[in-house]
Amino acid sequence: MSKFIKGVTALLLMISILGLGVPSQVIAQMPPEWQPWTTYRVGDRVTYQGAVYQCIQGHTSQPGWEPPNVPALWQPVSGATATPTQTSTPGVTSTPTRTATPSGATPTPTRTPTAPPSGGCAPAWDPNRIYVAGDLASYNGVNYQAAYWTQGQRPDLHSGPPGSGQPWIPLGACRGTPTSGATVTPTRTPTPGVTPTPTRTPTPGVTATPTRTPTPGPTATPTRTPTPPPSTDSVIVGYFVQWGIYARNYHVKNIVTSGSASKLTHINYAFANVDSSGRVVLGDPYADIDRFYDAAYSVDGQPDCWDPGCLRGNFNQLRKLKAMYPHLKILLSVGGWTWSTNFGVAARNPQAFADSAYALIHDPRWAGLFDGIDIDWEYPNACGLTCDNSGPEAFKNLMAALRARFGPNFLITAAVPAGYDKINAADYAGAAQYVDWYNIMTYDFFGAWDPDGPTAYHAPLYNWPQIPTPNYYADYAVQLYKSKGIPASKLVLGVPFYGRGWTGVPAGNTNGLGQPATGPAPGTYEQGIEDYKVLRNAPGAVYYGAGTMHKYDGTRFWSYDDPISLAGKQAYRRSQGMRGVMFWELSGDTADGELITALYNNR
């Protein structure tokens, strides 16, 4: 029995003792109190703040979806007041009842929308604003109320009566000139859970299937540290993969034609390799410096030359791109999932590694192209494709050697893990003094390398009830890094431009989430993985949760991010004072840069 029911029972018994004659059967007739993270079916009844509501659309509740806030899901039972005021009984002190909140989460206050003046128009709908349940907006002389979280969905095109599932509920015609939109409501940030359990975090975009690492012992929940004001110079970092020029047919010119070049601040070129002697070398010399680009495929419409000493390939195209977009910074990314094996060798002689990186980046053939270096070691003193036993200081020593060799004005960044076991395996806090920022790989938490499921979000921002491995979500990783003393201004949130999926998935009562599967869903280049540009047009219904989303068509389950969920992640990133956002990788976006536009518009 919930705390609320116990409190009401005690109160009614007290009233009965005072002789006020409340019938005992009233207690038995009270529906259970509304709870978050609970599955409700059509017809279910709950009590919330003294009022009774009936479910009109099946769903799994979340904080912020309290019945008065979401008329698309709940309707007050006849005779009940949507937002009642609790009155005290003579002789009894009324104690406010708190809505139960899942462990570690911050209670979400009930929103009471302010109605516009009678017949007047609410603030004009703003496509860039985030609206939550109860918010009001007007469009073309009609008032609307938000049924749930929405952004960029025009009310006249996405509205319907309560229970329709549409994000907007029409309230009728209005008169007068609407005022400008209100301040965006910040995204709630729940506290991480309390039972750390590790999970592997593979590098995105690779074909190898990683091996799960053993589960270490429990680690204390990180203490949330105060968040500084959001940075005014946020970054948008995108990875360009050298192999994208082959089967994917994605070239540097596509960064321009998609409109992405003007919205990016940094491009990480993936990857340079680490050879068996621990030196940095080109990863694919043909793609990097030799492929010929004719006028049609060249960034500036000018073909490459064949003369001796001419630079061709991606490096020449990136050099032309920088000339067209001088604000862009290019970093050479070293390693990745497949090419991290020899970082352990490099760690034995950090100075030699740094010298080789310096020589490669300052090669006279492309000198001036790279503004920085990005280290993608998967993973220091932990297991990735292979296991490293260099010790917790190895990563710090490597970054210190790079900073000493390149000096204070050269960008040095690193792609770092999101699994707490790997975060705790190396001294990322000690190395932070040498880097400009860390790109946290907050994706690939779960995927079809577990072919039989359970299905799960692969890039969750927050915890959710069916999470297969506790504490494997982005906010937990962010708070853990911050608890180690790493400034939020040196943390960049990673987001995927691709999805991970399963097939043979039953619906259950969760629209496929947390269900068993028969195997990975078919993908264009690899089973269980697919680009956003393909998934956006795939069949199925979309469901949002845990700060991300999934699509389910009755048998196939795909977890990925879209413009709506990315807007929410940018809001989270701003609320945490983080440096910016990073994504893997450019070729997964649409031809017109739909995802990067969402990141840019919500920066």
Identity (one letter) of the amino acid at 276? S
Q: How many CB atoms within 10 Å of residue 225?
A: 15
Range of lowest pLDDT (226-240, 542-556, 579-593): 226-240
d(CA 63, CA 137): 23
CB 391 within 8 A of CB 380: no
Known catalytic membership, residue 378:
yes
| Confidence grade of residue 87 (pLDDT, cut at 50, 70, 90) | very low
pLDDT-wise least confident of 306-310, 470-474, 575-579 = 306-310
DSSP sequence for 322-367: HHH-TT-EEEEEEETTTT-TTHHHHHH-HHHHHHHHHHHHT-TTTT
pLDDT band per the 50, 70, 90 thresholds, residue 57: low
Rg of the chain (C-alpha set): 27
H or E stretch at 402: helix 394-406
d(CA 178, CA 324): 42
pTM of the model: 0.66
Percent of the chain with pLDDT over 90: 62
Which pLDDT score is estimated for 41? 74
Structure tokens that stand for 159 in this block = 């509205």
Q: CA distances (Å), 574 to each of 22, 151, 491, in order?
A: 52, 17, 11
In one-letter notation, the amino acid at residue 43 is G
Mean pLDDT of 205-211: 34
* Number of separate helices (H) and strands (E) present in the chain: 14, 23
Q: Choosing from 378, 530, 585, 594, which is the catalytic residue? A: 378
Q: Is the dihedral of CA 420, 422, 427, 429 positive or negative?
A: negative
Burial of 574 (0-12, 13-18, 19+ CB in 10 A): buried
Axis crossing angle, helix 350-361 with helix 394-406, rounded to the nearest 10:
40
Distance CA 168, CA 179 (A): 19
192 vs 131, higher pLDDT: 131
Residue type, 316: N
Tokens, residue 285: 């010399």
Cα separations (Å) of 218 from 113, 390, 416, 440?
43, 23, 21, 22
Select the more confidently predicted residue: 212 or 513.
Answer: 513
Please tell me the predicted confidence (pLDDT) of residue 174: 87
Q: If you average pLDDT over residues 513-532, what whole number do you get?
A: 97
| Positions of CATH 3.20.20.80 in the chain | 235-601
Residue 419 near residue 472 (C-beta atoms within 8 A): yes
- Tell me which architecture the domain covering 235-601 has in CATH: Alpha-Beta Barrel (3.20)
Are the beta carbons of 430 and 419 closer than 8 angstroms? no
d(CA 150, CA 540): 19
CATH class of 1-109: mainly beta
Buried b (16+ CB within 10 A) or exposed e, 519-551: ebbebeeebbbbbbbbbbeeebeeebbbbbbbb
Cβ count within 10 A of residue 468: 16
